[in-house]
Amino acid sequence: MLKTSTPVSKLEHAHPWEWEVHPGKRDLFRELGELFQYKDLLFRLVKRDLLVSYQQTLIGPFWILLQPLLTTIVYSVIFSRIAQIPTDGTPPFLFYLAGVIIWNFFSDCFTDIMHTFLQNARIFSKVYFPRLIVPLSAIVTRSIRLGIQLLVFLTVYLYFLTRGQIAPPTFQIVLVPLMLVLTAFFALGAGLIVSVLTAKYRDLNNVVQFGLRLFMFMTPVVYGASLLEATPFRLLFWLNPLTPAIEVFRGAFLTHAAVPQEYILWAMLLVLILVAVGAWLFKKQEIKVMDII
């Protein structure tokens, strides 16, 4: 005797699905919460970057000290002695060293973050981890270099201070850590945005590198804010978040000139918006970018 089978539709109706498997929703805030769980990976990436940077070099990590010193010597000769650009009554070597250290910190962080997808494509395609770990590791790595270079600056500063050529630091010194964080976040936000663009369009890398060189001359690295006070470019000059960062640093140790609070607040607001937009765009486009690479 043949048994009749129950129709599929009746089976589905009699035994409805109680659960289903689907990919979990991942958003930016959840990934930010995961960053702490991957702190060991962050430290490993920092260690890797520090070791790779100075492998097969003659003097190794001593380049951290020599790079800003050599650049400062060149700037002192060209812009102080030949071009005779004023340094607001401070020793030219210290004046340029302050600008060079902060600019190098921003430039190095921005360049490393800009190449996040291009330099880590193999890792991204093999294993999951919060991709923002890589840009953050670049910030931490460059912050270690910054700390060493700041010790060099303080050593030179104490030399001029003991000789009576400069006055002791002012109250603005309490704002210096905030300005360094502002510089790092500025590089982070801008770097995240550019990393997505340069991963999709490789030729933009050359355009960005050229623009970065021009941007240095829009930043008070080799001149002070007093040089542009009477020019129509004054407002545009202060819209650059690096301007209050460098001027606060110089004002605390060298020029003793106070930076208007509205410029500092504007720079902080602009950088926060830039970081928010950069993190959102980075998170939204990371999978699409990996498919292209």
- Per domain, the residue ranges of the chain are 39-44+59-292
Q: Which residues, including other chains, have CB under 8 Å from residue 9's CB and lie 6 or more apart?
A: none
> Is-contact 166 157, C-beta < 8 A?
yes
What's the one-letter identity of residue 154? Answer: L
pLDDT computed for residue 22 by the predictor: 47
> How far apart are the C-alpha atoms of 157 and 205, rounded to whole Å?
37
CA-wise closest residue to 149 among 37, 266, 67: 67
Residue corresponding to tokens 């689907």: 22
Which SS3 state, helix, strand or coil, does residue 55 take?
coil
Mean pLDDT in residue range 236-243? 90
pLDDT tens digits along 140-155: 999 999 999 999 999 9
What average pLDDT is seen over the chain? 85
pLDDT computed for residue 27 by the predictor: 59
pLDDT tens digits along 14-72: 555 555 544 455 555 666 667 778 888 888 889 888 887 777 666 767 888 889 999 99
Q: Is the pLDDT of residue 124 over 60?
A: yes
Tokens linked to 233: 């470019």
> Is-contact 83 230, C-beta < 8 A?
no
> How far apart are the C-alpha atoms of 268 and 182, rounded to whole Å?
7
Q: Give CA torsion, residues 250, 155, 145, 139, to 10 deg.
A: -30
Q: Is the pLDDT of residue 118 over 70?
A: yes
Residue corresponding to tokens 């009576």: 164
pLDDT computed for residue 188 by the predictor: 96
**pTM of the predicted protein model:** 0.86
Residues in the chain: 293
pLDDT computed for residue 76 by the predictor: 93
Tokens linked to 236: 């545009």
Q: Which segments within 36-169 are labelled E, that is strand?
A: none
pLDDT band at 11 (very low <50, low <70, confident <90, very high): very low
Q: Which residues, including other chains, have CB under 8 Å from residue 164's CB and lie 6 or more apart?
A: none
> How far apart are the C-alpha atoms of 44 and 184, rounded to whole Å?
20
